């Protein structure tokens, strides 16, 4: 499973391990971001107007934590994206939706009805299809880019 394909541009297995580590870190950071934002959104009262809301948001630790995590996720994502085709890289973030849904049930006690579960299954199937189209620029370099 760890065998790297013999692509011309692929690096040694150390690169592969770094890539997998990067993905895992990305998934953890992104899930934590959603959880922090959910907590943040619940603590903010938007009845007082936008200016007040922004001021209040900037003084709330969990909001700042959310933004900090968001920024970290952004940096990790850029390092991933520099090597991978966007249409290929993005669908692989699907795992985040599974981990986020789990957090919704466990941490926020949201209940899932049948339609919602069916919808998530269909989304997951769609994302799996998207992700299985693994053609990247590396294998189609005949064309101009």
Partner 1 sequence: MGLVSWLLFALTVVLDVFGQTAFKLGLDGMDAGDKSGAGRLFWRAVATSPWVAAGFLGYCIEAASWMYVLGHAPLSIVGPMAALSYVGTVLTGRLFLGERPRARRWLGAGLVTIGAGLVGASLG
Q: Which is nearer to partner 1, 25 or 99 (CB)?
A: 99
Please name the helix (run of DSSP H) or strand (run of DSSP E) that holds residue 121, with its range, or none. helix 114-132
Site for partner 1 in 13-52 (CB under 8 A): 34, 37-38, 40-42, 44, 46
Number of residues that bind partner 1 (CB under 8 A): 57
User: CB 13: neighbour CB atoms within 10 A?
Assistant: 11
Is residue 133 within 8 Å of residue 87, measured between CB atoms?
Answer: yes
Please tell me whether residue 120 binds partner 1 under the rule CB under 8 A: yes
From the number of C-beta atoms within 10 Å of its C-beta (0-12, 13-18, 19+), residue 98 rates as middle
Cβ-based neighbour number of residue 141 at 10 Å: 11
Contact set with partner 1 (CB under 8 A): 34, 37-38, 40-42, 44, 46, 54, 57, 63, 66-67, 70, 74, 77-78, 81-82, 85-87, 90-91, 94, 97, 100-101, 103-105, 108, 110, 112-116, 118-133, 135, 140, 145
């Amino acid at each position: 499973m760890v065998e790297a394909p013999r692509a011309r541009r692929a690096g040694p297995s150390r690169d592969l391990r770094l890539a997998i580590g990067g993905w895992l870190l990305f998934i953890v950071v992104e899930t934590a971001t959603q959880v922090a934002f959910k907590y943040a959104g619940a603590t903010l009262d938007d009845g007082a107007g936008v200016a007040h809301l922004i001021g209040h948001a900037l003084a709330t630790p969990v909001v700042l934590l959310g933004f900090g995590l968001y920024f970290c996720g952004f940096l990790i994502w850029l390092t991933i994206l520099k090597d991978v085709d966007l249409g290929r890289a993005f669908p692989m973030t699907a795992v985040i939706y599974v981990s986020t849904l789990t957090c919704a049930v466990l941490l926020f006690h949201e209940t899932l009805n049948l339609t919602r579960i069916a919808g998530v299954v269909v989304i997951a199937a769609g994302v799996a299809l998207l992700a299985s189209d693994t053609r990247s620029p590396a294998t189609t370099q005949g064309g101009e880019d």
